[in-house]
Amino acid sequence: MAQDTKFFDSFIRLVNSSVSVLLMCRVVNYDASNKRADVQPLNLKPNGAKRAMILDALVLKHTEEDISEGKIVAIVFSDCELDNINGSTDFKPESSRQHSVNDAVVVGVWDV
C-alpha cells in the first residue's frame, strides 16, 4: 500500500509542476498599441538560473495606466489557448492547450 501512496504522491507533484497558474514578473517590454507585454518571471529555477521570458502576454485595460518597463506584474494563464482571440468576438481554440505560459494575461501591477 505504501508504494501506491508514493506513486500517487509523485504523480500529483508531476501534474502540479506542469500547470501554470500565476507568476510575478518584471515587464521587459510593453507594446501599448497592441496591449501586449514581454515579461521575465521573478522566481528562479532550482539551479538559480532565470526562467525563460514570457512573450506577448495580454494586458488588461485596468493595468494600462500603471504598466511600464521595469514594473512588477501578476500574470495568470488561461484555461484555453488564446491564439485566436481578437477583441470581443467569440473565438475557437485550435488546440487543447490549458494553463500554458503561451497564454499569459497581465492582471495587475504590483506597486512596490
* pLDDT band of 15, cuts 50, 70, 90: low
- Reduced to 3 states (helix: H, G, I; strand: E, B; else coil), residue 7 is helix
What is the average pLDDT score of the chain? 86
C-alpha cell recorded at residue 101:
505560459
Position 54: which residue type? Answer: I
Q: pLDDT per residue over 46-100, tens digit each? A: 999 999 999 999 999 999 999 999 999 999 988 776 766 777 777 677 877 676 7
Of 108, 49, 97, the residue nearest 75 (C-alpha): 108
What's this model's pTM, rounded to 2 decimal places?
Answer: 0.78
Domains of the chain: 20-110 (2.40.50.230)
The predicted pLDDT at position 91 comes to: 65
